[in-house]
Structure 1
Amino acid sequence: MTATGVRILGVGMGPQHVTPEVATALGECDYALAVAKSEDDPLLAVRQAVCDAHGIELVVVRDPERDRSPGLDRAGYEGAVADWYASRLAAYRAVLSERGGVCGFLVWGDPSLYDGTIRLARELGVPFDVFPGVSAPQVLAARHRIVLHEVGQAVHVTTARRLRADVAAGQRNLVVMLTAGVDLDGFADWDIWWGANLGGAGERLVAGRVGSVVGEIQAARTAAKVEAGWVMDLFLLRGPEA
């Protein structure tokens, strides 16, 4: 069979973040497709809850392994991601070829930020639509009751891997994603607004001067993972005034 289409659906952190538009689009899918990162992937239950709430079957494939060695240089990291991406693409293509119909891809947060599903859909070569979701930076700002940038200023969205290079290039107001417990040494006099598992199980918030709250952040991150079985965190980092 041949897939007739793919719908890329931003689902925030679960059923509570599914917008009416996404709910309608999901209800028109024949099934949803997700990967499990392990035999007991705790995030799979969240995807299942989204599908159950809308009466959609969830088809699960095992996510290919990716080299996550901390010592990888940029070339090694990009090569590892490319290999993993190719393997995931093959797994998706096999399911779409076998089942056909309209398939929904459930994307954490919003598909526009640090997610490869849109690129993957292009590679699959089938028609696709994209439906926005609630992004992690949006929820971070709401929980801390802040605006992500100061008046008339910019906000730079980046990853933990690029943080120090971006700061060296002059960035002073950064939303940092894909943190995996980023090292904050050298930022003691910066302000931070940090959050983990925002809108989901194990939600934690910490804000203050980095030098004063770094230990609290570490403890909160550990507590979030213990409570939920997983942790996704991000933060806004703002440098002191010149």
Structure 2
Amino acid sequence: MIIGIGAGDPDHLTIQAAKAIAATDVFFIIDKGEEKHDLVRLRHHLIEEHGRPPYRIVEARDPERDRTAPAYAAAVEDWRARRADLYHRMIDDELADGQTGAFLVWGDPGVYDSTLSILDRLPFTYEVIPGISSISALTARHRTTLTRVGRPVHITTGRRLAEQGPTADDILVMLDARCAFEGLNDYHIYWGAYLGTPDEILVEGPVAEVADRIRDLRAQARARKGWIMDTYLLRRLR
């Protein structure tokens, strides 16, 4: 099973996800290093809270991804292939016939996550349990909606926004190390980082007024924790 566990708040876990955790025999956890140990710690907490012994936890270190490679797509494909090999070995070695294994996926497995595309390469069947995404958490915390009546929303990445510029009146951006919103002064921004966690940061306002503040907060938070996950909604000013 692929179980969505929400954007960071333990209370984001749905009843369906809690039942799926209770039905799991072996949990597969991918460790992304000491800097991101918070992500592993939450998974352990949810397993302890909702798992039913006897269960086992199998951990493995995430393959390193070359983030400096000029060919971004090729670097991602290489990383996914090595992750697929790792998942295959873990499942073959640790999951007995008749047992249920599960990966606990941050947010929602169907939104900006590679787990499904990686498992599609393997000869296993699986079920997907949806979760609360960072998108849902962001709009809830800012008390706004993702869409407006009769308006589409474009979901993209910070990398693509920096390369292409704005492509719609409403743009949802996932992870933006470049602060590509800077200079988009005809937009209002709803920004959030570490959504649902004790480290959550929220900023809202016209880009022209809050861009510098977001850049500073983002840099400070990343320096303090060693990593950052942020999401934001841009809405063109009328």
TM (norm. structure 2) is 0.89
1:1-242 correspondence runs (5 A): 7-12=1-6, 13-42=8-37, 43-55=39-51, 56-69=55-68, 72=70, 76-100=71-95, 101-164=99-162, 167=165, 170-225=167-222, 230-241=227-238
The CA RMSD over aligned residues, in Å, is: 2.0
Deviation at 1:35, TM superposition (A): 1.1
Gaps in structure 2 of 5+ consecutive residues: none
Residues 7-48 of structure 1, C-alpha deviations (whole Å, 9 max, x = no match): 000001252211110110111111211211124532211221
1:4 maps to none
**C-alpha spacing 1:64/1:102, structure 2 compared with 1 (3 Å):** same
3-state SS, counterpart of residue 121 of structure 2:
helix
Q: Which residue identity lines up with residue 8 of structure 1 in the other structure?
A: I
Does the aligned pair in 2 maintain the 1:194–1:235 contact within 8 Å?
A: yes
Q: Which residue identity lines up with residue 99 of structure 1 in the other structure?
A: E
Q: Which residue identity lines up with residue 237 of structure 1 in the other structure?
A: L
Counterpart Cα distance in 1 of 2:198 and 2:226: 9
Counterpart Cα distance in 2 of 1:186 and 1:15: 36
Q: Which residue identity lines up with residue 118 of structure 1 in the other structure?
A: L
Q: Which residue identity lines up with residue 101 of structure 2 in the other structure?
A: C
Q: Which residue identity lines up with residue 217 of structure 2 in the other structure?
A: A
Does the aligned pair in 1 maintain the 2:35–2:227 contact within 8 Å?
A: no
Q: Which residue identity lines up with residue 41 of structure 1 in the other structure?
A: K
3-state SS, counterpart of residue 123 of structure 1:
coil
Does the aligned pair in 2 maintain the 1:201–1:228 contact within 8 Å?
A: no
Does the aligned pair in 1 maintain the 2:162–2:180 contact within 8 Å?
A: no
- Per mean C-alpha deviation after superposition, the further-off stretch among 21-30 and 52-61 is 52-61
Deviation at 1:180, TM superposition (A): 2.7
Gaps in structure 1 of 5+ consecutive residues: 1-6
Deviation at 1:119, TM superposition (A): 1.8
Counterpart Cα distance in 2 of 1:213 and 1:25: 41
Q: Which residue identity lines up with residue 34 of structure 1 in the other structure?
A: I
Counterpart Cα distance in 1 of 2:220 and 2:182: 21
